[in-house]
Amino acid sequence: MPTIRSNLSIPLNELSRIADDQKEVDQTKQRDSSKFRPLCVKCGVFGTQDGSGYAEFGNTRVLAQIFGPDGDGKWEDSYAKITLNLKGVEDETKLAEYRAEIISCISSVIFVQKYPGKVIDIEITVISDDGGALSTALTAVSLALAHSGIEHVGLTTSAHVVLRNDEYITDPSTSESEGVIGGVTFSFVPNLGQSTGINLYGRVPIENVKNLLEFARQKAISLVPVIHKAIVKSVDEMK
Amino acid sequence: MEVQISDDEKLFLIHGVESDLRNDGRSCEDFRPMILERGVLSGTNGSCRVQLGQTTDVLAGIKLELESFDTIAYPKPRQPIYFHVDFTANASTQFAGKGGDQYGEEVAAAFHAAYSRSLDFIPNLSKTLVAEGYRWKINMDVSILQWAGSFPDAISLAVIGALSDLEIPEVEVAPDDGGKVSVVLKRPRHGGNMRDEEVPVEMWKLDVTKCPLLLTVSKIGTANLVDCCPEEESCIRAQLLVGISQNPEEEKYDVTCVKQLGGGLLEMESVLEMIELAQKATKGIYEALAKRLKTEERRKPGHSFLL
Amino acid sequence: MSYEISGPPLISPWMMLSMSEARTDIDETKIVIPGQPVCDAPQQFMRGHGTYTRDGEIVSSLSGVVQQLNRLLMVKTIKQRYAGEVGDVVVARVVEVQSKRWKCDVTSRLHANLPLGSVLLPGGDFRRKDVEDEEKMSEFLKKGELICAEVQQVQHDGTLMLHTRNNKYGKLQQGIMIKVPPHLIKKSKKHFHTLPYGMAVIIGCNGNVWVTPSLPETTVEEDGSHITEFQKVPQDVRLAMIRVAACIRLLRDYSIAIFLNSLTTCYEMSQPYDIKELSEQDTSSRLAYLIAARLMQEFSSQN
């Protein structure tokens, strides 16, 4: 792995500050359960050539970087190999779970046949996790992919929703996810209308699965304009 | 382990699957003949071996551990079953070039997710919390002996078999110095000449009627199938790992986990169809499993389980 | 859609079959293990395959049966890899495309070679100049595809040289391939069989059995090229193929030799059962017993 010279250039005003004093006090203002937490996405974070993306939902922040396609010397098959390195997740089982999901999502959208014998390396760092780390990571990776110039099918959006009693809560934080019946991280390619990754957990009665997935899908679709805007902005900046 | 087959063979297979006629005569919803045997490893607290179609072979063993933990760090009850999956001689190139270890970790993580609510569906599991700060940790180790497709299904059967075979000792909790407790194995009072250590310990078993089954549902062409053999696995477009738990009295099903793995894109209707197929299969397997667990006779000593 | 979870079989396949009279008993004195001396008077005999000399004695290096051919002693094992002979018909899979030849896997110790000059190209001989580079060769036969060929030559290191200079041989299209241990394939005159159930079978001497809707020679057009069939195989042909495939697996699991007669016998006797039942233990063991008995009967009535 080559050492990365990072000129991390996210301007401070684009980062929303955590108000530390607010965390201790019970939130008297109920967050609208159908809206995402305050979010910030940026396509192309580092100044270097390779693709990078940053996504922030509330207090969950994830940074993704894509290196490649590069020759490996060892990998010779007729399609590209995708490797993933995920840092910042403490629980090892969660780490393995997220890694499998992310690789599955990415390998289904990249045109691996176009890069025979090459290796595509993905580095993901979870800077802070306050719920929904998987969907934030997937958003960050799809932004990095758009920035990297690797050919892929379309942009991917992902959303994390939970079902509590009979109510759906969009993009909950860790404290909001307590005691829920179940939740799903739904990752979706809007221009194909097909899903690339579904990760459902908890204990959801089978009758509610359909509605839960539908709701997640709607929420993923609603993120499309935001991501679109971020990608267009990065293309503008590159010129 | 991928099996190489030519494009024409794949075409034949896909056409067959779409007309519900697979290459070994099964329909899309059929499983290969399953063999389940419990109590095969004497060095474990519970064990089970499952063979699917005489080629996929998995072995599950349980080791109990009395663990003391910090009640402040973990105030809420955690589920005590920990999975470890070992792919000894296999390295799969199917999932974008991973070695066997990583793959084993991911499968174990999937089982963790499916069993994350095990305190809900195994009613007496909460008994593993013997006292404040002490609990029985159930270490479930799974070894894949042979692989010919659909091992999560085989592993989930082996896990349920091993959990049903598991015997946990009863304990007596007595207060000790310094605010701690001492945990002692419970041996029923026995009058007579037997020494204390020779009295067999009282054991209790878990109630596994509602444990979730983790099934792989694959999409080949336009058809959805369960239990794919390696030739079929080289033709799949996408795969879903679905964990379903059945409540036998009420005929209600709960989905504990859905994972889309191995790449591939799916339409929403396909996802729902695949979950429905998993539910149908779960129902059938539960009945067969309950029957088998009830009617199983112990193997005679001197017969090795690897026939 | 029924599911059944059963316990491990009480009798394993070979045990069951050894109870029937269908097994030819091997003379027990002739069975040797590695390290066991093969004969009493080593000076009289010549040492053959599967043996080595130690302290003047001829000792076996394999576990198997001693065979004597005049003054030559060899040890023959059952589970040997396929060793080709000239004239054998094999079903092979292309593993590599090299310049001017294809390397094929015949489940032998080494991959076999199919030289470009030994292939019957469509359009006759003047196509040869066009197809010489690897890409053009891949258009004709690429990695992973199945072919049916004849062994032309066996080289000194055991590599087989194949040829497909005949309409009978060539690329195989839709069908099912079943791998069978080579010792179950009897050498016979015909390896291509069109069965009266609407499909055909190619029994390769290397243990690969190919079940197909039609043989390569029937799909040949006038200029020598094969029609590529992308159509769906009709349902009744498909059912017949799957049943024959299940029969082959059954014969393989119970170590019954695979030849035309055993296939047709097995097919007819399996008719009352569903195809998927043929893979279950009790049905298959019962059926194998009956088939073995019937074959023994026919064999003894012929002699």
Contact between B275 and A195 using a beta-carbon 8 Å cutoff:
no
Q: Is B273 on the interface with A (CB under 8 A)?
A: no
Question: Poorest-confidence range of A72-86, A152-166, A198-212, C87-101?
Answer: A72-86
Helix, strand or coil, per DSSP, at residue C69: strand
CB atoms < 10 A from the CB of C100, how many? 12
Judged against a pLDDT cut of 60, whether residue A21 lies above it is answered with no
What is the average pLDDT across C49-70?
82
Domain assignment of residue B246, yes or no: yes
Question: Poorest-confidence range of B188-197, B213-222, B257-266, C199-208?
Answer: B188-197
What is the average pLDDT across C276-300?
80
Contact B210, B121 (CB under 8 A): yes
CATH (domain of B36): 3.30.230.70
The answer to whether C27-77 and C80-171 have equal CATH topology is: yes
Contact between B267 and A194 using a beta-carbon 8 Å cutoff:
yes
Judged against a pLDDT cut of 50, whether residue A22 lies above it is answered with no
* Shortest distance, CA B253 to any CA of chain C (angstroms): 19
Cα nearest neighbour of C175 on chain B: B9
In angstroms, what CA-CA distances link C43 with A230, B158, B236, C38, C72?
Answer: 89, 59, 62, 12, 11
Q: Which two tokens stand for residue C120?
A: 């019957």
Judged against a pLDDT cut of 50, whether residue C112 lies above it is answered with yes
pLDDT band at A26 (very low <50, low <70, confident <90, very high): very low
Domain assignment of residue B223, yes or no: yes
Q: What is the pLDDT of residue A136?
A: 92
Pairing of strands B34-38, C5-6: parallel
Q: Give the model confidence (pLDDT) of C150-204 as tens digits.
A: 998 888 888 889 888 887 888 888 888 888 888 888 778 888 888 888 888 898 8
Please list the residues that pair with A186 across neighbouring strands: A159, A198
Pairing of strands A118-128, A81-87: parallel
Chains that touch A (3 or more CB pairs under 8 A): B
**In angstroms, rounded to a whole number, what is the distance separating the alpha carbons of residues B142 and C28?**
42
Contact between C93 and B4 using a beta-carbon 8 Å cutoff:
yes
**In angstroms, rounded to a whole number, what is the distance separating the alpha carbons of residues A188 and C68?**
71
Q: Is B272 on the interface with A (CB under 8 A)?
A: yes
pLDDT band at A20 (very low <50, low <70, confident <90, very high): very low
Q: What is the pLDDT of residue B95?
A: 36
Dihedral angle over CA of B218, B220, B222, B223, nearest 10: -60
Closest among C80, C82, C90, C130 to C114, alpha carbons compared: C90
Q: Which two tokens stand for residue C237?
A: 């042909």
**In angstroms, rounded to a whole number, what is the distance separating the alpha carbons of residues A150 and A143?**
11
Beta strands in B53-152 (DSSP E): 56-68, 81-86, 129-131, 134-146
Domain assignment of residue B199, yes or no: no
Q: What are phi and psi of B60, to 5 degrees?
A: -120, 135
Cα nearest neighbour of A197 on chain B: B260
Instruction: Report chain A residues whose CB lies below 8 A from the CB of B101.
Output: none
* Interface-testing mutation among C2, C4, C5, with chain B (most B C-beta atoms within 10 A): C5
What is the average pLDDT across A30-46?
79
Pairing of strands C89-98, C72-76: unpaired
Instruction: Report chain C residues whose CB lies below 8 A from the CB of B11.
Output: 174, 230
Q: What is the pLDDT of residue C118?
A: 82
Domain assignment of residue B301, yes or no: no
Domain assignment of residue B2, yes or no: no
Contact between A203 and B255 using a beta-carbon 8 Å cutoff:
yes
Q: Give the model confidence (pLDDT) of A154-213 as tens digits.
A: 888 899 998 888 888 888 888 888 878 888 999 888 888 888 888 888 888 888 888 888
Judged against a pLDDT cut of 80, whether residue B100 lies above it is answered with no
Q: What is the CA radius of gyration of chain A?
A: 18
pTM: 0.81
Contact C269, C294 (CB under 8 A): yes
pLDDT band at B172 (very low <50, low <70, confident <90, very high): confident
Q: Chains B, C: CB contacts under 8 A, how many?
A: 111
In angstroms, what CA-CA distances link B25 with B51, B130, C279?
Answer: 19, 51, 9
- Choose the CATH number for A36-238 among 3.40.50.300, 1.10.3720.10, 2.40.30.330, 3.30.230.70: 3.30.230.70
Residues in chain A, how many?
239
Closest among B177, B173, B202, B203 to B187, alpha carbons compared: B202
Instruction: Report chain A residues whose CB lies below 8 A from the CB of B262.
Output: 104
Domain assignment of residue B196, yes or no: no
Instruction: Report chain B residues whose CB lies below 8 A from the CB of A198.
Output: 240, 258-260, 266, 271
Instruction: Report chain B residues whose CB lies below 8 A from the CB of A82.
Output: 96-97
Q: Which two tokens stand for residue B285?
A: 């397997």
Contact between C233 and B37 using a beta-carbon 8 Å cutoff:
no
As assigned by CATH, the class of the C27-77 domain is mainly beta
**CB-side neighbour CA atoms (13 Å) of C223:** 9
Q: What is the pLDDT of residue A4?
A: 47
Nearest to A206 among B112, B254, B267 (CB): B254
For the domain C80-171, what is the CATH superfamily, name and number?
Answer: Nucleic acid-binding proteins (2.40.50.140)
Buried b (16+ CB within 10 A) or exposed e, B242-254: bbbbbeeeeeebb
**Domain regions of chain C by residue span:** 27-77, 80-171, 173-303
**Domain regions of chain A by residue span:** 36-238
How many domains does one find in chain B? 1
A7 or C131: which leads in pLDDT: C131
What is the average pLDDT across B240-261?
83
Contact B152, B214 (CB under 8 A): yes
The answer, yes or no, to whether the previous bond of B152 is cis (omega within 30 of 0) is no
Q: Which domain holds residue B154?
A: 7-167+205-295
Instruction: Report chain B residues whose CB lies below 8 A from the CB of A213.
Output: 268, 271-272
Domain assignment of residue B197, yes or no: no
